[in-house]
Structure 1
């Protein structure tokens, strides 16, 4: 992997047994950092790192997008004598990077709190090895796929904590917000990050968000030199384009992908942005060049860490990238993640019922009116007092029940109840129920209340999906960057009072306030959001025979997880509700992922 993507790396303790494991990487690794003994320490293929060692025996590497160079890092750690002080220092630095610290045989390593950069670990012959990708460890240790975990991925929503479980037996995940310690001692994880506890008014938070986003974009542009960006016409991508154009040394190529949906006004807003924002070179793709959904599934490049539906978007998401590479782009900026960090969760208003009931009730009525929820359904969710573990155990009983209505009042609860598709086998359903019930025995919510739990769960699901698409893009030669998912940006968003950023009355008020005066007002007045339902419907119809071929030789069916005959029958009837609303994308992602590995 080249360019300014994440790449891959593995971390090894300073011992002879680790040397034997590292030797299995053979010629795959392009870079190696060694321990003072000469044994391999960091092995892989990555770009964008700063490394320094001080006089007290502490080594620090920042791997990823950071404005801190080796000289500045050395100055930062010069007087530090313990690893905890290094941990405190690195949490304050801007960017999107892994932190690897080694002192006297003990390794501390972490990704980002958002989950865009992850860590995984496994133990082989008593030696712990860590890596930034689960599939790297799986190949290194020849770990088998865990069919019980794969069955969980057939769910439309994988509830916490099961979404963080890697797909390979013996490979363990470090939860975002925790760091891994290993080396001379057994591996253990320690929490290093908590969401902001002090909250400010929207106007104050808007300035902090602008500054954090500007720093995130500037860091990427400064490092890559020549960049490009998505310009979907939405607020998130338009914000990134405006900030990037302000610091780019040359016209910024921005790419717009039109939709076949006649009601989608994204192109109108993209053209308006290109005309109003200085320094943009607008590239509007021809509609005939845009692949339909579900096209080219057998051409999906891998491997990637996990089966998420974003892997299916590869043919669409990467269209036009060859032209951007020809223009010299070395990194492509996206607005992905904006929806996950800017959309304050409605459950905040449930939490406000005890402290500010009138404010909470007014907003809850607004959500009810927008979504046409019945009073009875809404009250049932609002009065549900089950602890998280009990809720998780209860939903295990209903995984094969009919799906709840889209946009149900369950958003005020712990999560949307997960459902399996109708083509899941009885064995798959039994496996999923066992996994949910086992997890329920010890499961704790991500946050103290339903709102924080939901926001963290939404964020981490979003970063997992975005991260997979980033991995796919690296294989294509033009890496992606998603500045909205930098930790400092997330913190800036979540430092704003929940009732001001989570509201049924206005679309993304925090971002609009952050960019007011920095982007044409006309662009901030948009209240619609484009979607590609026509492309999806047409894609199902046009590609049904290709999809049928997948099921005729299905690896999921061979594993006993899906009924291939039922899938084949439903696929050949692309208008059937079981196909349109039945979890097809999750199943396809699992099937395609199995083929890439």
Structure 2
């Protein structure tokens, strides 16, 4: 008989027909109803709607696992379509010896599993599986190579060989000793939205964001918001402040701000505090807290965040202020933190592909009007616009070459990655990595919707990052901009509506008028996170050099990383005062070197764990 076990320490546990289900950290289980049981981790945002659809009384006491189980009994494997929220869910059908595992479209609550010849283990964290001696602790080198080259990773693989993950928006069915993975969320099938006026599009976006924010408020007055000076977090914070104000509650907004002068970069502004402060001042129920970008040493911040996740750090410098915000929120007794991590692909989509798409659709009149707006507002030249029109009609390889000729030199693999050339070659990913060149747009042929879907897929690390905030600080991080209803709405809105009058992200600018200060809505530049990062890097330089020396003793890190190149880059560190080419310095040090060292630290830590077992 097949055996099912849950391999984490548990607060709740049920043994059902040879299967062991357990739940902890706020997850719930619903054992043995008609030989079907459920475990659920996360949040259901449309509970009232589900109760009505399932004929469940509004006052009947049910856990999220109970509701998920009712949904499964009503709709079978299609139950995922009916649940809105951040979740991972497991259904065990004892009669059929069948296990169903599912995640929300963003995998904001991850789920991992390992299969043996006659058993399956699953857990919401990889360390839950690694705690079982039967599960190997071997790094998946293919995934590591993809990570180091900024390629989209295989969605059903983790960083450990043999440990699989339920991909975002997928269902995995295990039966008869084998697992089958199928995607249930298919955003590419969303029908285009056609409304009568620009005001209609603004209203539907505003209402969709309002709904996404409201369902993520906890109602206990313990809500915080990560507030930068940009459009996304400002819009989320404004909606949250308005909704909480109606309930007589307050919102605590946290803004990371530089302590030291930063080297300017064209198209960016360095200090987001004045913008965030303007929004906080507009709402009397907002308490505004400043967090310094350098409130902790870089290495200390890396070690802290690494302890909370079994995944390499994506952006080590940002760990400083992210930890600072999470720590300050915990110290103030907050339980929920609102963020806007996926806003670029939903509410504030730039819409810059509208012109090319109009050309491809042979809507030349609309394309001419867009070109005139781009020339008037953005200062685009007619020659450049003609080249873009030509590129939109060419095969992707030729179009990419034409775009590069127009833009000039674009980053190549060596600019942003310190992967060892032999390791990359052995992975079989070199050609794809060089063709992609760190830009997902090189994989989607100008298809705006495909690009956003791919970007959302590559954002699958967010669930792990949010999970580390729960583990380290007891903070439930929630992203309204990832709400399935809102994402599908934004994918349905035509690009030209997002970039109306040639202004990128114009739809959210118009939708939030009166709710977000004009200085934020009118700012065309983008806020730069940790703009004074060079100071933290400079202080950490001796530790980074020592870490490279330690990585030379790691069997895998010494093969995967070009440690000689990292060492030379560290020796050539330009310091905090040099102006030079800030973009090139950022690519080389903040991205390539720090991400490479972070990946090496992850590898070395897992090797040490393996030796200790």
Does structure 2 conserve the Cα–Cα contact (< 8 Å) formed by 1:138 and 1:144?
A: no
Question: What is the aligned partner in structure 1 of residue 146 from structure 2?
Answer: 152
C-alpha distance after superposition, 1:334-385 (max 9, x if no partner): 2222123232454454343232244346657849966999679857853552
- Inter-CA distance 516–505: structure 2 relative to 1 (3 Å threshold): same
The answer to whether 1:31 aligns with 2:28 is: no
Question: What is the aligned partner in structure 2 of residue 527 from structure 1?
Answer: 524
- Inter-CA distance 251–66: structure 2 relative to 1 (3 Å threshold): same
CA shift at 1:549, angstroms? 1.2
Unaligned runs of 5+ in 2: 57-68, 263-268, 436-441, 575-579, 607-613
The answer to whether 1:510 aligns with 2:520 is: no
Question: What is the aligned partner in structure 2 of residue 336 from structure 1?
Answer: 341
C-alpha distance after superposition, 1:410-443 (max 9, x if no partner): 9xxxxx97557574333223124357679x9xxx
Residues in 1 aligned to 2:84 and 2:35: alpha-carbon distance in whole angstroms: 25
Corresponding residue SS for 2:160: coil
- Inter-CA distance 522–347: structure 2 relative to 1 (3 Å threshold): closer
- Inter-CA distance 352–580: structure 2 relative to 1 (3 Å threshold): same
- Inter-CA distance 203–384: structure 2 relative to 1 (3 Å threshold): same
Corresponding residue SS for 1:116: coil
- Inter-CA distance 143–326: structure 2 relative to 1 (3 Å threshold): closer
- Inter-CA distance 171–38: structure 2 relative to 1 (3 Å threshold): closer
The answer to whether 1:500 aligns with 2:480 is: no
Aligned counterpart for 1:199 among listed residues 183, 193, 197 = 193
Question: What is the aligned partner in structure 1 of residue 563 from structure 2?
Answer: 564
Question: What is the aligned partner in structure 1 of residue 465 from structure 2?
Answer: 469
- Inter-CA distance 149–250: structure 2 relative to 1 (3 Å threshold): same
Question: What is the aligned partner in structure 2 of residue 385 from structure 1?
Answer: 395
CA shift at 1:494, angstroms? 1.4
C-alpha distance after superposition, 1:547-595 (max 9, x if no partner): 1111111168642122323311211222397753232243133123234
Does structure 2 conserve the Cα–Cα contact (< 8 Å) formed by 1:474 and 1:480?
A: yes
CA shift at 1:529, angstroms? 2.0
- Please list, as runs of the form range in 1=range in 2, the aligned pairs for 1:438-457 lying within 5 A after superposition: 450-457=447-454
Residues in 2 aligned to 1:409 and 1:373: alpha-carbon distance in whole angstroms: 18
Does structure 1 conserve the Cα–Cα contact (< 8 Å) formed by 2:10 and 2:24?
A: yes
C-alpha distance after superposition, 1:283-302 (max 9, x if no partner): 22457x63476664344432
Question: What is the aligned partner in structure 2 of residue 6 from structure 1?
Answer: none
Unaligned runs of 5+ in 1: 1-14, 396-403, 411-415
C-alpha distance after superposition, 1:131-171 (max 9, x if no partner): 4344543444133112233223221x214x54664211112
- Inter-CA distance 73–242: structure 2 relative to 1 (3 Å threshold): same
- Inter-CA distance 282–580: structure 2 relative to 1 (3 Å threshold): closer
Question: What is the aligned partner in structure 2 of residue 264 from structure 1?
Answer: 270
Corresponding residue SS for 1:543: helix
Does structure 2 conserve the Cα–Cα contact (< 8 Å) formed by 1:331 and 1:480?
A: yes
When the two chains are superposed, the root-mean-square deviation of aligned CA atoms in Å is: 4.2
- Inter-CA distance 452–34: structure 2 relative to 1 (3 Å threshold): farther
Does structure 2 conserve the Cα–Cα contact (< 8 Å) formed by 1:446 and 1:452?
A: no
Question: What is the aligned partner in structure 1 of residue 59 from structure 2?
Answer: none
Residues in 2 aligned to 1:480 and 1:293: alpha-carbon distance in whole angstroms: 22
The answer to whether 1:91 aligns with 2:81 is: yes
Question: What is the aligned partner in structure 2 of residue 545 from structure 1?
Answer: 542
Corresponding residue SS for 1:179: strand
Aligned counterpart for 2:318 among listed residues 310, 313, 320 = 313
C-alpha distance after superposition, 1:426-466 (max 9, x if no partner): 3223124357679x9xxxx99897323211111222342x3
Question: What is the aligned partner in structure 2 of residue 17 from structure 1?
Answer: 3
Aligned counterpart for 2:366 among listed residues 344, 359, 371 = 359
Residues in 2 aligned to 1:129 and 1:152: alpha-carbon distance in whole angstroms: 26
- Please list, as runs of the form range in 1=range in 2, the aligned pairs for 1:74-473 lying within 5 A after superposition: 76=54, 85-88=75-78, 90-103=80-93, 104-105=95-96, 106-140=98-132, 141-155=135-149, 157-159=150-152, 162=154, 165-184=157-176, 186-195=178-187, 196-201=190-195, 203-222=199-218, 225-248=221-244, 249-259=248-258, 260-261=260-261, 263-285=269-291, 290-291=295-296, 296-341=301-346, 342-344=348-350, 346-347=352-353, 349-355=355-361, 356-360=363-367, 363=370, 366=374, 378=388, 381-385=391-395, 423-434=418-429, 450-464=447-461, 466-473=462-469
- Inter-CA distance 553–209: structure 2 relative to 1 (3 Å threshold): same
CA shift at 1:386, angstroms? 5.2
Question: What is the aligned partner in structure 1 of residue 439 from structure 2?
Answer: none
Corresponding residue SS for 1:176: coil
Does structure 2 conserve the Cα–Cα contact (< 8 Å) formed by 1:230 and 1:332?
A: yes
- TM-score normalized with structure 2 length: 0.76
- TM-score normalized with structure 1 length: 0.78
C-alpha distance after superposition, 1:286-337 (max 9, x if no partner): 57x6347666434443252432423552222121443332322112212222
C-alpha distance after superposition, 1:22-44 (max 9, x if no partner): 4x54xx23333443x36313x34
Question: What is the aligned partner in structure 1 of residue 66 from structure 2?
Answer: none
Question: What is the aligned partner in structure 1 of residue 593 from structure 2?
Answer: 584
- Inter-CA distance 471–63: structure 2 relative to 1 (3 Å threshold): closer
